[in-house]
């Protein structure tokens, strides 16, 4: 019989003994929108070991970003606990959380979030400035080393508008590593990139992950999941049981369940896209910025839409179900009779 060792708890400072880098226990998060309660997480339990590259997958609105925000100390759970290195985050006040974020966590977002007027070098120097331990000269030296790590040292004096999307993301990654984080949180890190650049970024992330930090990435991108050491699927604020994929341990049964879930989302997305472009709401010729599709489409159509959206649209175009093209991340649809009368 296996006996589980009870966690030793020091009640005064909220530290537990654990081998996990991050422990999420019974976490619920409910947002209040006016008088309406929006349950985003409904009882999450996740154990994350040091050095993992964990992928969070699931349809739009299932709670991926909410979970990242809670782990990253950007918000508090409504119920449940999150431990970082055994430390109960709910006991930290806002200043302590800010220190924890500054000293331990790096963030990489879909749209890079670089300051447009600063050079690549200056953007990477920002966290070092807030850390306040290095002289300006040392900050500059460290920022250059980080740019070298992402192979952008020769572009250090360029501003974001002078860099491609992939280069901007590399600057954002260098910035995320400025405080030597032990945890890196990534929210759709390849979401705004073409697939070739996305793969370059993923290779870079994999190399950086192997240096020891724990990575957690929310993604819709199947390519990202291939770089993860483990994937959990989330649906309606809960983990989909039996769909946890760890390294090469995915069984045939799990694979079948995963593919069937994906195909269900895919069909739902495909139907909604076609319904939308065939509807009266769309004009004769219109353009949709794919990465911003959320801004331009009705909420109802949005449900589950972004999952595999780029791939799906490309596929529909290839099959000539949609008369259009994708150019520089913009989907250009031309409404013609035969397609829309179908
Ligand atoms: N600040 C907020 N106020 C109210 N509701 C919110 C807020 N943030 C998220 N939600 C809601 O919580 C749910 C989970 O959202 P979340 O952004 O975590 O999902 P997601 O899986 O990251 O989605 P996506 O893939 O589209 O980014 C959604 O129903 C969303 O509308």
Confidence of residue 5 (pLDDT cuts 50, 70, 90): very low
| Residues 199, 303 within the same domain | no
Confidence of residue 154 (pLDDT cuts 50, 70, 90): very high
Domain count, the chain: 2
- For residue 307, the CA-to-ligand 1 centroid distance in Å is 14
pLDDT in tens, 39-87: 999 999 999 999 999 999 888 888 999 999 999 998 899 999 999 999 9
100, part of any domain? yes
| Residues 102, 240 within the same domain | yes
> Which residue from 112, 113, 114, 110 is spatially nearest to 190, judged by alpha carbons?
110
pLDDT of residue 253: 59
261, part of any domain? no
| Residues 91, 188 within the same domain | yes
**Is the confidence at residue 117, as pLDDT, over 50?**
yes
| Residues 242, 282 within the same domain | no
Assigned token pair, 316: 């529909």
pLDDT of residue 191: 80
- Give the pairing of strands 214-219 and 183-187: parallel
39, part of any domain? yes
- Give the pairing of strands 230-235 and 53-57: parallel
Q: Whose CA is nearest to atom 11 of ligand 1?
A: 40
SS3 (DSSP) at 183: strand
Q: Whose CA is nearest to atom 18 of ligand 1?
A: 63
Task: Tell the residue number behind the tokens 């109960």, with chain if given.
Answer: 88
- For residue 120, the CA-to-ligand 1 centroid distance in Å is 31
4, part of any domain? no
pLDDT of residue 276: 60
State the complex-level ipTM: 0.97
Q: Whose CA is nearest to atom 5 of ligand 1?
A: 31
Domain with 310 in it:
267-340
Give helix then strand counts, H and E, for the chain. 12, 16
**What DSSP designation does 3 have?**
P
**What DSSP designation does 242 have?**
T
Name the residue with higher pLDDT: 305 or 130: 130
Confidence of residue 243 (pLDDT cuts 50, 70, 90): low
| Residues 300, 181 within the same domain | no
| Residues 169, 290 within the same domain | no
Mean pLDDT across the chain, nearest whole number? 77
Q: Whose CA is nearest to atom 20 of ligand 1?
A: 61
- Give the pairing of strands 36-48 and 53-57: unpaired
CATH code, domain carrying 127? 3.40.50.300
> Which residue from 314, 313, 315, 305 is spatially nearest to 59, judged by alpha carbons?
305
pLDDT of residue 284: 52
190, part of any domain? yes
- Give the pairing of strands 105-108 and 183-187: parallel
**Is the confidence at residue 207, as pLDDT, over 90?**
no
d(CA 72, CA 65): 10
Name the residue with higher pLDDT: 217 or 194: 217
| Residues 206, 120 within the same domain | yes
170, part of any domain? yes
Boundary residue ending a domain (203, 221, 250): 250
260, part of any domain? no
- For residue 65, the CA-to-ligand 1 centroid distance in Å is 7
pLDDT in tens, 255-296: 565 566 556 655 665 666 666 666 655 555 554 444 333 333
Point out the ligand 1 atom lying closest to the alpha carbon of residue 63: 18
HEC profile of 16-46: ECCCCCEEEEEEEEEEEECCEEEEEEEEEEE
Confidence of residue 321 (pLDDT cuts 50, 70, 90): low
**Is the confidence at residue 93, as pLDDT, over 50?**
yes
326, part of any domain? yes
| Residues 291, 178 within the same domain | no
- For residue 66, the CA-to-ligand 1 centroid distance in Å is 6
In the chain, the largest separation of any two C-alpha atoms, in whole Å, equals 71
Boundary residue ending a domain (198, 225, 250): 250
| Residues 125, 240 within the same domain | yes
d(CA 109, CA 191): 9
| Residues 303, 186 within the same domain | no
- For residue 226, the CA-to-ligand 1 centroid distance in Å is 24
CATH code, domain carrying 322? 1.10.10
SS3 (DSSP) at 172: helix
| Residues 29, 81 within the same domain | yes
| Residues 69, 186 within the same domain | yes
- For residue 38, the CA-to-ligand 1 centroid distance in Å is 9
**Is the confidence at residue 140, as pLDDT, over 90?**
yes
CB 273 within 8 A of CB 312: yes
Q: Which residues form the pocket of ligand 1, taking CB atoms under 6 Å from any ligand atom?
A: 31, 33, 38, 40, 58, 60-66, 218, 306
């Amino acid at each position: 019989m296996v006996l589980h060792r009870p966690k030793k708890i020091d009640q005064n400072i909220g530290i537990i003994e654990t081998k996990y880098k991050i422990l999420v226990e019974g976490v619920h998060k409910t947002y209040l929108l006016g008088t309406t309660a929006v349950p985003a997480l409904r009882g999450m339990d996740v154990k994350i070991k040091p050095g993992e590259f964990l992928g969070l997958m699931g349809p739009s609105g299932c709670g991926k970003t909410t979970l990242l925000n809670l782990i990253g100390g950007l918000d508090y759970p409504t119920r449940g606990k999150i431990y970082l290195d055994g430390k109960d985050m709910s006991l930290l006040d806002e200043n302590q959380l800010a220190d924890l974020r500054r000293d331990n966590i790096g963030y990489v977002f879909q749209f890079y979030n670089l300051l447009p007027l600063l050079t690549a070098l200056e953007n990477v120097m920002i966290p070092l400035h807030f850390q306040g331990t290095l002289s300006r000269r040392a900050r500059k030296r460290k920022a250059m080393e980080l740019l070298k790590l992402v192979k952008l040292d020769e572009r250090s004096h360029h501003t974001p508008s002078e860099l491609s999307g992939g280069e901007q993301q590399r600057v954002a990654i260098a910035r995320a590593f400025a405080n030597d984080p032990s945890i890196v949180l990534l929210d759709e890190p390849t979401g705004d990139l073409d697939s070739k650049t996305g793969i370059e970024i993923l290779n870079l992330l994999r190399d950086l992950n192997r240096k020891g930090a724990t990575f957690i990435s929310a993604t819709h991108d199947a390519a990202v999941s291939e770089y993860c050491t483990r994937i959990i699927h989330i649906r309606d604020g809960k983990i989909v049981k039996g769909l946890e994929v760890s390294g090469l341990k995915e069984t045939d049964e799990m694979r079948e369940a995963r593919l069937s879930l994906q195909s269900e989302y895919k069909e739902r997305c495909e139907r909604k896209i076609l319904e939308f472009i065939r509807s009266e709401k769309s004009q004769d010729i219109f353009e949709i910025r794919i990465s911003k599709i959320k801004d331009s489409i009705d909420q109802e159509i949005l449900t589950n839409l972004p999952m595999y959206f780029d791939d799906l649209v490309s596929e529909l175009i290839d099959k000539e179900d949609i008369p259009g093209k994708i150019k520089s991340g913009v989907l250009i649809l031309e409404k013609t009779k035969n397609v829309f009368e179908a």
